[in-house]
């Protein structure tokens, strides 16, 4: 009887590892275990699979890295208090379609994906459209936190006055009473940078499994991906208050003014 159990265990391991080698050889143990259960009804713990993948030389253990000198900034307390935004240029479709960028909006307090959108390149038009979708779905956050991309901050010398350093996109946000904060270093917006790395791993593989190879199909899939991702990885905020503010009656008018601002800036 014991010999039979051992034999069945070996057969199960052989079947699991054959699938991993065939379809999930570049997956980490956590994601591979998820997909084995979700797509093949094979239940194996992440730790067991990690050991099997190491033994098969499909996974290398990560060693503890030296603590970084940069201390992580404490998370904000409320959902919508600060939303980090960034564009991630990557070969999202693994060569089956043109390289493009993913606009990522992630809430600082919860790590929740708030808005995702594939675009050809980062542009003020694309950020405005993605932001408009964000406002429609969630309301107005207190602030967006970005890098110093020219869309968010004027870097040329000679700009003066109260609007010094403010772009047309920044003025558009001001019309909606949303602050734009530009980080002084990549480390300062580390959460969205780490999210980009996570998405370049998990989302690329999900697109592969869904056989999605176009931006249009991917954008249709993104809300479903974000919902599932947030259910698994988002955390509860320290303060349950939602800092998002509802859109005001005149926000539609302001959105038109914002759009005209951006259009005027891009045609100069």
**DSSP alpha helices (H): ranges in 69-214?**
124-138, 168-175, 190-209
Q: Which of 162, 167, 160, 159 is nearest to 122 (CA)?
A: 167
Residue pair 106/191 in contact (Cβ under 8 Å)? The answer is: yes
Strand runs labelled E in the chain: 83-90, 100-107, 113-119, 143-146, 179-182
Q: Which residue has the higher pLDDT, 150 or 36?
A: 36
Q: Looking at 13-27, 42-56, 63-77, 120-134, which range is the least confident one?
A: 63-77
Determine the Cα–Cα distance for residues 201 and 166; give it in Å rounded to an integer: 34
The tokens for 116 are 């995702």
What number is the average pLDDT over the span 169-192?
77
The tokens for 181 are 């904060």
Q: Which of 76, 79, 258, 39 is nearest to 168 (CA)?
A: 258
Per-residue pLDDT for 71 more than 90? Answer: no
Quick one: pLDDT at residue 74? 84
7's CB contacts (< 8 A; 6+ apart) are: none
Per-residue pLDDT for 70 more than 70? Answer: no
């Amino acid at each position: 009887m014991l010999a039979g159990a051992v034999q069945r265990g070996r057969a199960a391991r052989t079947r699991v590892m054959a699938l991993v080698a065939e379809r999930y050889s570049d997956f980490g143990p956590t994601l591979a275990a998820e997909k084995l259960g979700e797509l093949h009804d094979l239940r194996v713990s992440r730790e067991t699979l990690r050991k099997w993948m190491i033994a098969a030389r499909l996974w290398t253990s990560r060693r503890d890295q030296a603590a970084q000198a940069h201390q992580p900034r404490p998370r904000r307390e409320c959902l919508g208090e600060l939303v980090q935004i960034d564009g991630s240029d990557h070969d999202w479709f693994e060569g089956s379609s043109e390289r493009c960028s993913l606009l990522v909006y992630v809430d600082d307090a919860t790590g929740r994906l708030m808005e995702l959108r594939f675009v050809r390149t980062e542009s003020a038009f694309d950020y405005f459209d993605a932001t408009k979708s964000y406002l429609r779905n969630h309301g107005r956050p207190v602030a967006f936190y970005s890098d110093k991309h020219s869309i968010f901050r004027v870097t040329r010398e000679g700009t003066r006055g109260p609007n010094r350093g403010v772009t047309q996109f920044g003025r558009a946000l001001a019309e909606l009473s949303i602050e734009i904060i530009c980080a002084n270093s990549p480390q300062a917006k580390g959460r969205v940078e780490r999210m980009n790395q996570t998405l370049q791993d998990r989302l690329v593989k999900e697109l592969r499994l869904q056989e999605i190879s176009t931006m249009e199909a991917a954008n249709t899939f993104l809300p479903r991906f974000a919902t599932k991702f947030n259910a698994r990885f988002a955390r509860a905020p320290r303060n349950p208050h939602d800092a998002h503010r509802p859109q005001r009656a005149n926000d539609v008018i302001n959105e038109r003014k914002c759009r005209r601002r951006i259009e005027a800036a891009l045609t100069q």
